[in-house]
Amino acid sequence: MLTPLPTTGDTAWFVHDRFGMFIHWGLYALPARHEWVLSVEKIDPNAYAERYLPRFNPTQYDPRAWARSAREAGMKYVVLTTKHHEGFCLWDSAYTDYKATNTPYGKDLLTPFVEAFRAEGLKVGLYYSLLDWSHPDFTIDIYHPLRDHPQAARLNEGRSMTRYAEYMRNQVRELLTQYQPDILWCDFSYPEASYNGLPGKGRADWESERLYALIRKLSPKIMLNNRMDLSNVRADVYTPEQIQPTEWLRVDGEPAVWEACQTFSGSWGYHRDEESWKSPEQLIMMLINTVSIGGNLLMNVGPTPFGTFDPRALKALGVYRDWMERHHEAIYGCTQSQFPAPQDCRLTQKGNKVYVHIFAWPFKHLHLPNLGDLVEYARFLHDGSEVPITGSEWETRQMTIKPNTQLLFLPVKKPDVIVPVIELTLK
Ligand code: GLC
């Protein structure tokens, strides 16, 4: 079985837990039309702050309810945007006024969040945006809302990325010392990008080496993702987003710890009018697909301006809850199987247990390649009932069975779960 190369951070719990919740929450919940609205619509950052800061008042914010839904959905960790690209901070940072305590809500949102999720037994990760479209020192570049300002180059003259990099180190220090997160999720670098003569940003702008040294000094074992554009440092976790890898992710030819991050509907922040919500089948299959090739899934919720999960998000979380309640054994502690998957199936494995996730229900017989004579017992995970490994000779005599194949004898009717799973105990 594949094992990723070891890295500095503690990834043992992470590759066991497999399933987490991403949360994107900030002022962008109010316009409710994508967390990049400031950039996409090229809004002046001051006008954006004037419009939304005095209107941010999530009176129904109850992080214990969020944490409960995450735990019930089978999620074992959470990653929250403490600051997204817009620059607004959810915690009471000493280094900015652009923060939750300066809204009508008036309170730090992060402390109760961290407490609530830890109380439900979840590990806590903090997302921190390297981009900051509202910071006066952050130079105007390809994604900045003022990129088409006729004076963009001149406006950049007074800005200093050196001062901004120090601001980031100060804020990251606050986050690591005040909240001791298990994961730090920095987002993102685009060194090769350019726009109308405005360059992109990467390690030279973020001063990534210094930031990295600070992170490791304060939290030697924290898990750090791969988006700081560090050279010569293997990240603890690689983070493809909005795509489903089809095989174990490799970095420099070696298998890596990886986590696909996905949305229920496309945008990360609360998006009122989006109609592209994934079906229950897609949600479950995404999780299985990911674990079957050695990855984690970080599934995103974008809370509303009131601080609630909207009904569509709760419904989607309910899909995970119902399936995970009965099938979590095929996810936690599991990884890519050493055996090839049967037709229309995915496999996950934990020691001598192999889990067959059946994506398309076949008629009566499932052929398991390379497992001939290795299976001691098979049962459904949803109800514990036996799945016979021997059956009618009259039927098998008529079939073409490849060498070294084990047959499973299935009921004609697909069990009433989104993806049925058969647990094989190997001899
Ligand atoms: C991207 C986007 C962003 C989102 C993130 C999640 O880089 O900028 O809005 O937070 O990916 O992976």
CB 179 within 8 A of CB 126: yes
Q: Residues 253, 296, 22, CA angle at the centre, nearest 5°?
A: 125
pTM over 0.85: yes
Indicate the angle between helix axes 311-327 and 63-72, nearest 10 degrees.
Answer: 40
CB 261 near ligand 1, within 6 Å: yes
As annotated, the residues of the chain forming the CATH 2.60.40.1180 domain(s) are 337-426
Ligand 1 centroid distance, CA of 365 (Å): 43
Write down the pLDDT at residue 340: 97
pLDDT digits (tens, 9 = 90+) for 359-391: 999 999 999 999 999 999 999 999 999 999 999
Query: Can you say how many angstroms the Cα of residue 200 is from the centroid of all Cα atoms in its chain?
Result: 25
CB 240 near ligand 1, within 6 Å: no
Ligand 1 atom with least separation from CA of 81:
10
Q: Name residue 210's amino acid.
A: R
Ligand 1 atom with least separation from CA of 241:
12
CB 22 near ligand 1, within 6 Å: no
CB 20 within 8 A of CB 76: yes
**What stretch of H or E contains 22?**
strand 19-23
Task: Look at residues 198, 172, 199 and name the one whose alpha carbon lies nearest to residue 185.
Answer: 172
Write down the pLDDT at residue 61: 98
Ligand 1 centroid distance, CA of 187 (Å): 7
Give the confidence band of 118 by pLDDT, cuts at 50, 70, 90: very high
* Residues pairing with 261 in the sheet: 241, 298
CB 229 near ligand 1, within 6 Å: no
CATH number belonging to domain 337-426: 2.60.40.1180
Architecture of domain 12-333: Alpha-Beta Barrel (3.20)
The residue nearest atom 3 of ligand 1, judged by CA position, is: 268
Give the confidence band of 173 by pLDDT, cuts at 50, 70, 90: very high
pLDDT at residue 401 tops 90: yes
Average pLDDT over the chain reads 97
Write down the pLDDT at residue 1: 79
Q: Name residue 316's amino acid.
A: A
The fraction of the chain above a pLDDT of 70, given in percent, is 100
pLDDT digits (tens, 9 = 90+) for 131-152: 999 999 999 999 999 999 999 9
Task: Look at residues 45, 54, 127 and name the one whose alpha carbon lies nearest to residue 84.
Answer: 127
